[in-house]
Amino acid sequence: METSLTYQSYWKRLGAFDWLYALMLSAGALYAFKMYGAHMDVYEEAILLLSAPTFAVLGWNWKPIRALMIVLAILSLFAISQYAGSLDLANKKFFLKYLLSSQSAILWMSTFFVLSTLFYWGGLIARSDFGAAVGSGLCWAAVVMGFTGLLVRWYESYLIGADVGHIPVSNLYEVFILFSMITALFYLYYEQSYGTRQLGAFVLLVISAAVAFLLWYTVSRDAADIQPLVPALQSWWMKIHVPANFIGYGTFSLAAMVGVAYLLKSKGFISDRLPSLAVLDDVMYKAIAVGFAFFTIATILGALWAAEAWGGYWSWDPKETWALIVWLNYAAWLHMRLMKGLRGQVAAWWAVVGLLVTTFAFLGVNMFLSGLHSYGAL
């Protein structure tokens, strides 16, 4: 009886805009299916059709997602209309050149993230709610421009050629953007859930570091150029394995920066300007728990993809080996938390060290090692 009442109360909480939002998502998915279904295999069709209920539930449970999805649809569709089927117009149309082409949008994303970091830190140091609020607004603006840039880049790849077009999660340039978006979105969710903006100063540091690398990588390697996929990446597995993987990377990074805040507060630094240790501990735990769940899924999907591409589920490739090390690290953290009550500075230090392990698995393997996964070598 209690389960039934809880189930009913959930549906009763949904308003007219919630259902309109779900209807818009369904209509968009069906339109895309009608227009492009002939070019999809059964797996891609399933991903497309499942995306509508997935984002509907996300929007119902976290309301800002609804506005984000609507704004992204408007901006990306407007950008697509400006191209009029020709990539040559990217530098001729005002809105494309200065705002909505993939490279322009991603540069705006980078700018907004850096400014967000500065305002978050200004708000923290000056104890200014206004500064933190501006930082939060700029972070949302960066998310909008970053996702718009990825969506438009996806379309641009098909303008180059049908055999070139692909979802933009295939190289270091693209996944660094994805990493920044995922980390920022999870932070913004926790910011709203816990009613505090003080952690933005810490979490945005790791995002700004990613942006700095992204800009350096773009200039030094012409990384923004869209390239055809190598044969091993021409698979529908990439569309689900990579995003799941980077939810793990993003939330692990978030947890580490919260761990830094925890250590500073526990040592008495800016302690009166940060949330309580209990809140910091809870955010750190939830971020690692979510990241571990998705990283586990990504690892399983990666093994299935490897079996299809290379004929074996596991080959002890450097990337696979370090992914296992990351998994074992956070599995041990969660085990100690749930079984032994791990808390305090030890847990925080462990989360910070975990970021170093994760960074090597994410980036270091590409820099110093070679193997089957070296698609984004430096």
225 in the same domain as 303: no
Q: What is the pLDDT of residue 370?
A: 64
Does any domain span residue 7?
Answer: no
At 199, is the secondary structure helix, strand, or coil? coil
Does any domain span residue 38?
Answer: no
Q: What is the pLDDT of residue 371?
A: 59
Q: What is the pLDDT of residue 1?
A: 42
Q: What is the pLDDT of residue 272?
A: 83
Each residue of 295-306: pLDDT tens digit?
A: 999 999 988 888
Does any domain span residue 177?
Answer: yes
Q: What is the pLDDT of residue 372?
A: 57
Q: What is the pLDDT of residue 317?
A: 83
Q: What is the pLDDT of residue 376?
A: 53
> What's this model's pTM, rounded to 2 decimal places?
0.91
**Which of 203, 229, 255 is the last residue in one of the domains?**
229
Each residue of 229-276: pLDDT tens digit?
A: 887 777 878 888 999 999 999 999 999 999 999 999 998 888 788 999
Q: What is the pLDDT of residue 374?
A: 57
176 in the same domain as 113: yes
Q: What is the pLDDT of residue 294?
A: 96
Is the distance from CB of 149 to CB of 106 less than 8 angstroms? yes
User: Across the chain, how many H-helices and E-strands are there?
Assistant: 14, 0
> For residue 169, what are its two tokens?
């999660």
371 in the same domain as 265: yes
Q: What is the pLDDT of residue 73?
A: 92
208-229 burial, b at 16+ Cβ within 10 Å, e below that, comes to: bebbeebbebbeeeebbebeeb
Per the structure, the complete domain to which residue 105 belongs is given by: 92-229
Does any domain span residue 53?
Answer: no
200 in the same domain as 100: yes
Does any domain span residue 170?
Answer: yes
Q: What is the pLDDT of residue 225?
A: 87
How many folded domains does the chain comprise? 2
Q: What is the pLDDT of residue 140?
A: 98
Which stretches of the chain score pLDDT less than 70? 1-8, 369-378
252 in the same domain as 200: no
